[in-house]
Structure 1
């Protein structure tokens, strides 16, 4: 991917800075602080007759599951694990799909802790002056599974609200808003997060609103602590 040297350097510096801050803040033993630019994605989206450019920096597992669309292959191979109302079944489906690549047999909890740790993508917006926006999104697969067996945060939560054509569901819920392609889902997330309609809802939570193609309003809630220079998906719904 060809990007300007100035932008490339700024993205590398910002990602390393954020990763190290989060590692200390979350008391982790490790973090993914660098991804080679050959693995980045330069995204160009049109919205309201204006062109927007973004750089998506994925971890290897996020690249494989989301960007290379292995997640829909998991749904195709193990449909019985989806639409059950229990998000642990989705973890089991991914684990079953990956079992030949695992070094040993993992419990569901161990495998979940593995894929939620540093399986994510950072999203940076390129401004018109070739600088990077201070509003930065970390797009995790998920942040947790609550006591009701439901994903909290991340793109796995968003899958409850978007279903690609040809699928009954790609989550533990029934289908909701139909999209033409799988990649359209993270397009909607990115455009929502970088919407101009972005306000502080309450302490550490920000609400963004954007329009879907048929006029529905997409509402995203993002979590950001004042001293942490990155935001996370908290929840999302379609009105």
Structure 2
């Protein structure tokens, strides 16, 4: 059950918890970029509007929160569907460049396409934060995508590495794939996939420090894969997909 608003005290406590972890992540991300010769991230978001945080109660002791930044929220709320409606041939092609073209063309972004890609890579994300027995715990960062790289089996095409757009290649709405893939696994909106990822992240066996887990839904068994960045202790999504269809799951 979702509570759209949280208390000021709860908000302040959560921001105080995540800020040092995000600061450590920022430093680490720039160290890795420097090694690769990439442009450094000059800005990093630590604060988020309370109105853009959704709270989900799993049981009396366990909760999780979806913390959105505005770029990510706009993309999942309207941009992807608008891009599919206006450029349907750009989806399901196996090429991330096509999806980026469609998103860029509906974005209204004031800058060229390459700047738009850099903006999404550095800024568009949400955080999934768990709390158990009033204590904040694991954090999963869900980027729109982590990287865009040439496909291993076709160097003329590109693929999303990690993040939501990688996961969305396994999902569709009304039979229309939501990213590069051609899988048909219909859901009712993109936000719901983010919620399901949040729920799936909480199914991992923390005692075994697992990097993957399975989640049982009414129509499928889902598989989530993630990794932990050890310096900041922030997790990242690798993939999320339907492992198999099921019937009459209790």
Aligning the two structures, in what range does the TM-score lie when normalised by the shorter sequence?
0.7 to 0.9
- Name the structure 2 match of 1:70: 79
Normalising by structure 2, report the TM-score.
Answer: 0.81
- Name the structure 2 match of 1:16: 19
2:184 equivalent to 1:176: yes
Q: Distance in 1 between the 2:79 and 2:17 partners?
A: 28
Please, which runs of 5 or more residues in structure 2 have no aligned partner? 31-40, 152-157, 244-250
Deviation, 1:63, is 1.5
Q: Distance in 2 between the 1:63 and 1:180 partners?
A: 16
Deviation, 1:153, is 0.5
- Name the SS for the 1:136 alignment partner: strand
Deviation, 1:120, is 0.4
Deviation, 1:200, is 4.0
Deviation, 1:26, is 1.2
Q: Distance in 2 between the 1:86 and 1:4 partners?
A: 43
Q: Does structure 1 retain, via aligned residues, the 8 Å contact 2:55–2:66?
A: yes
Which 10-residue stretch deviates more, 72-81 or 137-146?
72-81
- Name the SS for the 1:69 alignment partner: helix
Structure 1 residue runs of 4+, over 3 Å off? 43-46, 50-53, 196-201
Q: Distance in 2 between the 1:78 and 1:156 partners?
A: 16
Taking a change above 3 Å as real, the CA distance of residues 78 and 145 of structure 1, as seen in their structure-2 partners, is same
- Name the structure 1 match of 2:36: none
- Name the SS for the 1:83 alignment partner: coil
Q: Distance in 2 between the 1:172 and 1:20 partners?
A: 32
Deviation, 1:89, is 0.9
Q: Does structure 2 retain, via aligned residues, the 8 Å contact 1:59–1:120?
A: yes
Number of equivalenced pairs: 223
Q: Distance in 2 between the 1:168 and 1:151 partners?
A: 18
1:26-76 C-alpha deviation (Å, 9 max, x unpaired): 112220111121222223468xxx89632211111011111x333212211
2:123 equivalent to 1:123: no
Deviation, 1:197, is 4.1
Q: Does structure 2 retain, via aligned residues, the 8 Å contact 1:221–1:235?
A: yes
Counterpart pick for 1:190 among 195, 198, 201: 198
Q: Distance in 2 between the 1:45 and 1:184 partners?
A: 16
2:243 equivalent to 1:230: no
- Name the SS for the 2:65 alignment partner: strand
Taking a change above 3 Å as real, the CA distance of residues 51 and 85 of structure 1, as seen in their structure-2 partners, is farther
* Bigger helix fraction: 2
2:37 equivalent to 1:37: no
Q: Does structure 2 retain, via aligned residues, the 8 Å contact 1:138–1:230?
A: yes
Q: Distance in 1 between the 2:239 and 2:191 partners?
A: 19
Superposition CA RMSD, Å? 2.2
Counterpart pick for 2:222 among 210, 218, 222: 218
